[in-house]
Amino acid sequence: MSLGIILLVLASLVVLFGLAEQVLDRLYLNDKQALLVIGGMVVGSFIDIPLYRGTPGISVNLGGAIIPLGLAIYVLARAGTAKELSRGILGAVLAGLAVYGVSKLYDFDTYIGFIDPQYLWGILAGGIAYVIGRSRRLAFISGVLGIILADIGHIIETFARGIPAPSRIGGGGVFDTVVIAALIGVLLAELIGESRERLQGGAATEQRQYPPGLDGPGEPQEGGESH
């Protein structure tokens, strides 16, 4: 069983126990919809849809490309402002360029090292997605779309160089990478965002200013009148 499927199974348990409501709200999903998406990605990871039957052939994976892409577009389409929309697109492009660029600069050997390069791409994309997006929605969008864009870039390069190898958009290790990027981006936004909100909330409470005539909530100053 791939790491991506294991992570999705764990995510489904988190949803079932009601621990992801805040994140799902930001993604405009309820528990049932989230479980349906997760189940579709798991089953869809075994389904490749042919796009080009020539040599080399091109196919797109249902669970690793179509479903996450559809969800990312759905969330992006519901962006509240033009700024949020532009940041989502910018984050996706930068995450994709970073993953593609680093993969070209360094020759990672799958059989050497303690971690598979596909996992590194997911971590890299997820981190960049959070830094640019700074929200659960934008981190998810940037992480997912960034990996898919990088994968498409590799396929275009394969065709341009005339390499006779079949290509699967979102298939194979890329499925794991998409899942990792999405989860890391969202988790960073959740953990860091929650910490910042608590710190800011605490600071706001300490610096709270009361209206003239009040020393505190409902407490008049000496000589004042209570209304």
Residue spans per domain, the chain: 3-203
The whole-number pLDDT of residue 114 equals 58
pTM recorded for the entire structure: 0.81
How far apart, in whole angstroms, are the C-alpha atoms of residue 36 and residue 71?
12
**Where does the pLDDT of residue 226 fall: very low under 50, low under 70, confident under 90, or very high at 90 and above?**
very low
The whole-number pLDDT of residue 107 equals 61
How far apart, in whole angstroms, are the C-alpha atoms of residue 16 and residue 190?
18
Q: What type of residue is 151?
A: D
If you average pLDDT over each of 24-33, 53-62, 81-90, 108-117, which comes out highest?
Answer: 24-33
β-pair partners for 52: 58
Q: What is the 3-state secondary structure (H, E, C) of 75-118?
A: HHHCCCCHHHHHHHHHHHHHHHHHHHHHHHHCCCCCCCCCCCHH
Instruction: Summarize the confidence of residues 5-20 as an average pLDDT.
Output: 93
Instruction: Give 162-214 pLDDT, tens digit per residue.
Output: 888 888 999 888 999 999 999 999 999 888 876 776 677 644 433 444 444 44
Q: Which long-range contacts (CB under 8 A, 24 or more apart) does 45-51 make?
A: 45/2, 45/4, 45/5, 45/175, 48/168, 48/171, 51/169
How far apart, in whole angstroms, are the C-alpha atoms of residue 210 and residue 215?
7
Instruction: Summarize the confidence of residues 110-120 as an average pLDDT.
Output: 69
159 or 111, which is more confident: 159
The CA R_g of the chain, rounded to the nearest whole Å, is: 22
43 or 204, which is more confident: 43
The whole-number pLDDT of residue 158 equals 86
22 or 38, which is more confident: 38
